[in-house]
Amino acid sequence: MANPKQFCTFFLNGLYFGVEVTHVQEVLRHQPMTRVPLAPATVQGLINLRGQILTAIDLRRRLELPARTGERLPMNVVVRTADGAVSLLVDEIGDVVEIQEDIFERPPETLRGVARDLVRGVYKLKERLLLVLDTEKTANCN
């Protein structure tokens, strides 16, 4: 049996995503943001996290999913990348799950568009599919 990996999970447009816990700095409720003129459409704004300025990326836009509707505010999954910490805006935070590495599979052929590049692979869990994001690629909005 392979070594287990831990993932911080979250929901986005009804889909179940995860990033490796080792890449997560922290998870936060909605934070006030400052808009950035002329920034890419995926950049929702900047947040001040205890004096550290972070770029907040709208993960729905980044993955080309429908825009968030209603009054529900996004949550923040702050991830560490080679270029520094970045906040990924998600719909809802899930749990930290531990999964055996040997059930990891390549992204399904049905995955299209930019998501094909950003999803490293999947884990077929009993109740749903966990899509594992590549944090480095996802945080790079250029």
The parts of the chain modelled with pLDDT lower than 50 are none
pLDDT, position 109: 83
Domains and CATH numbers, the chain: 4-139 (2.40.50.180)
pLDDT, position 142: 64
Contact 117, 135 (CB under 8 A): no
Pairing of strands 84-90, 52-58: parallel
pLDDT, position 69: 83
Contact 115, 64 (CB under 8 A): yes
pLDDT, position 5: 92
Backbone angles phi, psi at 96, to 5 degrees: -90, 125
Starting at the edge strand found earlier in the chain, the sheet holding 52-58 runs: 24-28, 75-81, 84-90, 52-58, 43-49
**Integer Cα distance of 39 and 32 in angstroms:** 17
